[in-house]
Amino acid sequence: MPEVALYEGIELFERTFKQQIQSNGEIKTQENLFIKKFGDAPGEWPVVPDRYRLIWMPGCPHAHKVVITRKLLGLEDVISLGTTGIFRTPKGWVFSEDPREVDPVLGIHYLHDVYIKENSDYVGRSTVPIIVDTVTGKGVNNDHFWLSIYLNKDWKKYHKKGAPDLYPIELKEQIDKLNNFIYERINVGVYNCGFARSQAAYEKAYDRFFEAMDFIDLHLADKRFLFGDFITDSDVRLYPSLARFQVTYYQVFRANRNRLEEFKNLWPYARDLYQTSGFKETTHFELIKKHYQVSPHLRPLWGNVYGLVSKGPDLSGWVLPHDREKLSKHGLQKFLIHE
């Protein structure tokens, strides 16, 4: 892992997000460059195994949900996985953990090369997750909101035997509605809190974020998972924000009304997910913590001049019993399985 760059101050943060900073102190979401879907229609990417590579950065919650989905569905032998380093450079994400700092499949040093190949004048940020075509080296899709759904729907014929149905057709509309709420009010909501550039913007985002967290906490009082007895796509996309809350958001984003452990239902619910195969193996707490706390473009958010990494918090509670199975008619079974 490369050494932490010298502290440049808030100017680096503002240069990084200059395309998204609003005059009222809020941050708008960047539009995705690659949005073509998978399928057999003209202009769509064919659903074939061993052709595509999913790129992620372990600290990113949006990438994390897609990697969890890939693992739960058994697509690991169908879509390969590439990993960037956790520190953004002036040119974006770098494959710093690979030999010679080059992705062994795509043969690139900067992820940004994929974006420039699509548009030589591209001035936005290169983002993860992104699926890349290994044949042409072109970007396929970086629409992180829908990528997990595409893996559930379009790649179903390559799901492993006994794969979970995370997006059951009878719940589609309800899942889509809740997904939008989770995304806007929690996944992105906490970023609006952390990236705010005015007191008013910060307090507005803070209140909306915790209002949403309280709503979900109450919703889980009599349900094991968001839609009852089985894990769905909605649970998968809520989990990365919960996993990052205590080690990063509470400190760096000043989302500090209370700790995750103080939510009556969200805390045991988060442990229930963490202790499920597919979640724990993809949750790298130390990398997550280092990314948010000492990344050059994020350090200024909490004045981390010397690039220190907090020793805590204590993570041992994630493996404590959760007792959530008592809310389910199916006991230890957590997934609705494909027929």
Counted residue by residue, the chain has a size of 339
- CA-CA distance, 237 to 26, in Å (whole number)? 23
What residue type is 87 in one-letter code? Answer: F
Beta strand 139-141 with 130-133 is antiparallel
Backbone angles phi, psi at 87, to 5 degrees: -110, 120
Cα Rg, the chain, nearest whole Å: 20
Distance CA 137, CA 118 (A): 10
Beta bridge partners of 55: 82, 130
Closest CA to 272 of 312, 309, 223: 223
Return all residues near 278 (Cβ < 8 A) that are at least 6 apart: 68, 71, 72
130: three-class secondary structure by DSSP: strand
Among residues 9, 3, 1, the alpha carbon closest in space to that of 299 is found at: 9
Q: How many CA atoms lie within 13 A of 266 on its CB side?
A: 23
> Hey, is 45 helix, strand or coil?
strand
Helix spans in 5-134 (H): 10-16, 61-73, 112-118
**Dihedral sign (CA 285, 292, 282, 231):** positive
Residue 269 structure tokens: 């619910």
Catalytic sites, residue numbers: 60, 191
